[in-house]
Amino acid sequence: MKKYASIIILICTINLLTAQSRTVEILKDWKFSNYDYGAAFQENFDDAEWENVTVPHDWAVKEDFNFTHDIQLTMVIQDGETKPKYRTGRTGALPYVGIGWYRTKHTISAADLEEKVQLMFDGAMSNAKVYVNGTYVGERPFGYISFYFDITKFLKPGDNTIAVRLENFNSQSRWYPGAGLYRKVSITKMNKTHIKTWGTFVSTPQITKKHALVHLDLEVLGEGDYTLLNEIIDPNGKQITQSSKSISLNGEEKLSEDFKVTKPQLWDIKTPHLYKLKTSILKNGNLVDSYITNFGIRSIRFELDGFYLNDKKTRFKGVNMHHDFGPVGAAFHKELFVRQMKKMKDMGVNAIRFSHNPPAPEALDICDEMGILAIDEAFDEWQLGKVLNGYSKQFDLWAKKDLSDMILRDRNHPSIIMWSIGNEIMEQYKHDPNNITAYLNDIVKTLDSTRATTAGFNSANNALESGMAATVDVAGFNYKPGIYHKIREHYPNLKFYASETGGALSTRNSYKFPVVFDTLQNKRGTSVNTELYADGQPGNYENTNVPWGYAPYKELASQEYNDFVYGDFIWTGYDYLGEPSPYHTAKSRSSYFAPVDMVGLEKDKFYLYKSEWNEDAEVLHVFPHWSLPEMAGKEIPVVCYTTYDKAELFVNGKSYGIKTKEKPLVPEFLAKDIKKEASGGTTMAQLKAYAMVWEHVVYEPGEVKVVGYNKKGKKVAETKRVTPGKPHHIHIKNEVQKINDGEVAVYVVSVVDKDGNLNPHYNKTMSIEVSGAAQFLASGNGDPTNVQNLSKPTRDFFNGQAVIYVQSKSKGAILLKTVSGELEGTNTAVIVN
């Protein structure tokens, strides 16, 4: 975060807390068009008929789904394919392909022109070309990178026209990338003598309980003699250190300084203490420039037996996250990312892998504030592409610049522990003939030697044999739980973790009977159920997986058995737009992998991970739901995820006995050969190791209840599910009580009986009315096959639930009304500050 001030003050009385920021976000009053006007860059171009939009803005998400959008003909080696296949819905079946123009005006004073004026884009999707007052300023192809230009020489006093042309191509991505100015845009005015943007690097090379050494590397631009003032503010807002020294500048200068902090408050997962380093440049007592760097005091170590945070062995309980927010699209809203992270923290997550691109800068701020470890990832492609128009087209010209800018922008975040230079790179299969791994690794180390480098390898043996896995500091392996012990046996000095795990499919409140479990005989781990569900709705018993995937129980067991592995990152934390594997033809437009669906509602496996990962939680979750009329009189398996030692199942008062988890000493699926990963989907043995299972329960309407017992056999908890009555009303839950102007509020809408029990079969349409201090933004229901427009105020319920997003526009109360047939629901609880 950069702050500037122009007021005159004395050194002895300077207070950087009150230094006025000179950075202005340019979010409102943009004009947008999807048509490629050749003259739209010109200053006096008539854009009066264009759409008025607010940035961040995703131009594609408001349009209709259509499975003819971006049909891709491609061969996916990871799926075991030997020839190309057509894929629909891979990029979300939304029209992100095409050209978009954005235009706005910004007022500049004559005094501003005596300084430097910088235009910053946190991200623009993609192939951005920027113009100011009709003159070309510069371009940046990579849609996920932040970039800026010095636009001083293009400006004039008064109104100035900024125009941005973006262009997305067919087969540009493997998932929904979004389209447009989907992150913030800002202008910063600064003195000609100033601290360079992303020009500070704070590290903490020595830490004890008594003190910490804080080291600052600094880049300053300017000419002449100045005073450099630094002060450190502790997490409570108290100034604890101040230094002052004279400096002489002759162009661009690199400076450094050390500080001692006594009794440091460490940044940790549970106590994410943050400090501020405020750096100021003064001339004759006048403040010329100031720059605020947030940082944390923490140590990280990567040892053969594990990862250490502040000298404590810490296992990654991680998730991969794509960048979209489901119905809202790729437009970044800080409050929606906070919502996601709160859900993940509740599940027990302590780490995020940003897949497979640099995130919005605010996302890393939130990881810092919430105590979430982060892997910052640069690329999904190098020189060899996975899609026709992917990053491989840009790599040779832009990779060094993009990777460098990611590190310069993000290296002060204490949450970041590793820099990932690539994911499932195709060079694996050719043993990296151009030695790109070492090339990128060296770029990272030049800019930051305090963190580890990494990459995610799905072809473990190729990465190991070629030396790619050993070139990075810590190797990541995708979907290889059966060979961790063999990797350690053959490569005893290799440090590694599981960068992607899982691959089992499910949709919320979906259950398919009979429940069939694998017997490990299927090649490549393909589940017997993968293609059986014509409705595109796999169930929640974790017995359906993609060819390269497996049930979560398998990874949990392997991580326990191989405790030298640093942990894992499940694929994914939330479902996301695009990549609806294995439904590659016109059926689905979003993914099935996550424990939380695309609108933020939990699936059953959320509680599996919560029971294993959240050390502070008490979990007692039973499934399936108890509204299965087609199964009356038939046997079904009932499953309970729990933290309790024992559990007893009752159906309408009849006990089915007490169960415990049955963990084998050695997992059944471990490979005997490093080159022969054990195959297969879910087995009953894997399920019983992490859940309590009653295999032969006769379904009858009424009540299913589970009682949890401690080790002494004392009842400590119970939970139940009942067969609901007929739909009675719509229940609306607002997730927050207050929001700020411009923020998004989220409402969970459920159809319940007169006693408040969810009806999991209600799939009718509701109409949505928003009035008061907000406007309707989007809605969704977690159904990957639903193709209703996300931005229109009608929505089908899916298995009894839906989620509504509204965006505030003024101060006051928000009124939300929903109607579905004779059912109605209203809520006015959210207040806009």
Instruction: Please give the full DSSP string across 201-238, using - where no structure is assigned.
Output: EEEEEEE-SSEEEEEEEEEEEEEEEEEEEEEEE-TTS-
Q: What is the Cα–Cα distance from 794 to 806, expressed in whole angstroms?
A: 13
Quickly state the pLDDT bin for 96 (edges 50, 70, 90).
Answer: very high
Q: What is the Cα–Cα distance from 517 to 683, expressed in whole angstroms?
A: 5
Q: What is the Cα–Cα distance from 828 to 833, expressed in whole angstroms?
A: 14
Q: What integer is the mean pLDDT of 178-203?
A: 98
Residue 622 neighbours by CB under 8 Å, 6+ apart = 638, 639, 640, 649, 704, 706, 719, 720, 721
- At 678 the pLDDT is 60
User: Could you confirm whether 531 is annotated as catalytic?
Assistant: no
CATH 3.20.20.80 fits 300-509+549-610, yes or no: yes
Quickly state the pLDDT bin for 111 (edges 50, 70, 90).
Answer: very high
Quickly state the pLDDT bin for 256 (edges 50, 70, 90).
Answer: very high
Tokens read off for 219: 């880049």
CATH architecture type of domain 629-722: Sandwich (2.60)
- At 527 the pLDDT is 44
Q: HSE, CB side, 13 Å, CA atoms: give it for residue 363.
A: 32
Residue 17 pLDDT exceeds 80: no
Q: Share the mean pLDDT of the chain.
A: 94
Q: What is the Cα–Cα distance from 14 to 783, expressed in whole angstroms?
A: 56
Asked if 2 contacts 161 with a C-beta cutoff of 8 angstroms, the reply is no
Q: What integer is the mean pLDDT of 507-521?
A: 80
Q: What is the pLDDT of residues 770-781, one digit of tens each?
A: 999 999 999 999
Q: What is the CATH number of domain 28-183?
A: 2.60.120.260
Instruction: For domain 200-295, give the fold.
Output: Immunoglobulin-like (2.60.40)
Q: What is the pLDDT of residues 755-774, one digit of tens each?
A: 999 999 999 999 999 999 99
Quickly state the pLDDT bin for 679 (edges 50, 70, 90).
Answer: low
Cα four-point dihedral sign 683, 689, 694, 699: negative
Stronger pLDDT, 80 or 543, i.e. the higher one: 543
- At 277 the pLDDT is 99
Residue 14 pLDDT exceeds 60: no
Superfamily of domain 729-832: Immunoglobulins (2.60.40.10)
Residue 703 pLDDT exceeds 70: yes
Question: Do 629-722 and 729-832 fold alike per CATH?
Answer: yes
Quickly state the pLDDT bin for 3 (edges 50, 70, 90).
Answer: very low
- Which residue matches tokens 């409402």? 747
Residue 740 pLDDT exceeds 60: yes
Instruction: Find the catalytic residue in 115, 377, 381, 500.
Output: 500
Q: What is the Cα–Cα distance from 701 to 614, expressed in whole angstroms?
A: 33
Residue 635 pLDDT exceeds 50: yes
Low-confidence winner among 31-35, 84-88, 508-512, 522-526 (lowest mean pLDDT): 522-526
- At 522 the pLDDT is 38
Asked if 276 contacts 294 with a C-beta cutoff of 8 angstroms, the reply is yes
Q: What is the Cα–Cα distance from 582 to 575, expressed in whole angstroms?
A: 14
Question: CA–CA distance from 435 to each of 7, 357, 442, 621 (Å)?
Answer: 52, 21, 11, 49
Instruction: Find the catalytic residue in 231, 381, 424, 743.
Output: 424
Q: What integer is the mean pLDDT of 358-370?
A: 99
Of 651, 784, 625, 636, the closest CA to residue 697 belongs to: 636
Stronger pLDDT, 686 or 780, i.e. the higher one: 780
- At 16 the pLDDT is 38
Tell me the one-letter amino acid at 361: P
- At 532 the pLDDT is 54
- At 8 the pLDDT is 28
Give the start-end residues of each E strand in 314-436: 316-321, 351-354, 373-377, 416-423
Q: List the chain domain ranges.
A: 28-183, 200-295, 300-509+549-610, 629-722, 729-832
**Rounded to the nearest 10 degrees, what angle do helices 605-613 and 552-561 cross at?**
20
Q: Could you give the percent of the chain with pLDDT greater than 90?
A: 88
Please count the other Cβ atoms lying within 10 Å of the Cβ belonging to residue 473.
16
Residue 345 pLDDT exceeds 70: yes
Residue 521 pLDDT exceeds 80: no
Q: What is the pLDDT of residues 645-668, one digit of tens each?
A: 999 999 999 999 999 999 888 888
Residue 173 pLDDT exceeds 60: yes
Low-confidence winner among 137-151, 296-310, 368-382, 816-830 (lowest mean pLDDT): 816-830
Residue 67 pLDDT exceeds 90: yes
H or E stretch including 820? strand 812-820
- At 534 the pLDDT is 80
- At 518 the pLDDT is 65
User: Could you confirm whether 424 is annotated as catalytic?
Assistant: yes
Angle at 215 between CA 210 and CA 217, to 5 degrees: 170
Residue 33 pLDDT exceeds 70: yes
Name beta bridge partners: 300: 309
pTM of the predicted protein model: 0.95
